[in-house]
Chains A and B, each alone.
Chain A
Amino acid sequence: GAGVSQSPSNKVTEKGKDVELRCDPISGHTALYWYRQSLGQGLEFLIYFQGNSAPDKSGLPSDRFSAERTGGSVSTLTIQRTQQEDSAVYLCASTLSGGGYYGYTFGSGTRLTVV
């Protein structure tokens, strides 16, 4: 696609429910990143994929968070047993392999609200 697509754009869920957030990167981009941005805060790194493998999962805040990427394309971030502190905007970014030379493109994000 022309840009990074994230869905849903908004999600309201009850505390304790599981949610899945989807990221569809730009076609051909091998590197994919997930971030979390809480209200008025900076970007918190969650996980990085190169192809289908995740060499850096260091940012996942707890074992309730997991992510996968299939076919070197779409990625899903899953949050189990959601808590109110999980409320944030979840951002996805992708780039061609090779580091920062090509720049990174962000999606519009998924705004998650846990009530």
Chain B
Amino acid sequence: GNSVTQMEGPVTLSEEAFLTINCTYTATGYPSLFWYVQYPGEGLQLLLKATKADDKGSNKGFEATYRKETTSFHLEKGSVQVSDSAVYFCALSGQYGQNFVFGPGTRLSVLP
């Protein structure tokens, strides 16, 4: 079945540092890939998505590129802020919406 692996946290960075959170996946066919974010005390929010190979999803300064050759969808941000402190989940859905699965989440803490 489909699965997602992402780097274990927690990740602690200073403000304005560069962020990378690795995500790799296993899937058949042509899955869609997502990053969701969960801020403290809040629900899950879609951060960005990509639905086909070589697509780049971007939002709020975050980016991720769908790399089929390496089965990866790494999340990056050039300069993190304290307000980016949250748990980040990489997720995948099958071509027809089935098997919508999540990675274990990576907790990011950004220090001023």
Contact B43–A33 (Cβ < 8 Å): no
Assuming A42-B89, A42-B103, A43-B89, is B97 touching A99 (CB within 8 A)? yes
Query: Total A-B residue pairs with C-beta atoms closer than 8 Å?
Result: 69
Q: A50 is contacted by which of B97, B99, B102 (Cβ under 8 Å)?
A: B97
Assuming A42-B105, A99-B93, is B100 touching A109 (CB within 8 A)? no
Kindly state the separation between the CA atoms of A26 and B32 in the bound complex, as whole angstroms.
20
24 inter-chain pairs at a CB distance below 8 angstroms, sorted by A residue, are A31-B97, A35-B102, A41-B105, A42-B89, A42-B103, A42-B105, A43-B89, A43-B102, A45-B102, A48-B97, A48-B99, A55-B98, A93-B100, A97-B96, A97-B97, A98-B97, A99-B95, A100-B34, A100-B93, A103-B34, A105-B46, A106-B36, A106-B43, A107-B43
Q: B32 is contacted by which of A50, A55, A91, A99 (Cβ under 8 Å)?
A: A99
Contact A45–B100 (Cβ < 8 Å): yes
- Residues of chain B whose beta carbon lies under 8 Å from any beta carbon of chain A: 31-34, 36, 43-46, 49, 51, 89, 92-105
Assuming A91-B44, A105-B46, A108-B43, is B101 touching A100 (CB within 8 A)? no
Contact B43–A48 (Cβ < 8 Å): no
**Residue A56 is within 8 A (CB to CB) of chain B in the complex:** yes
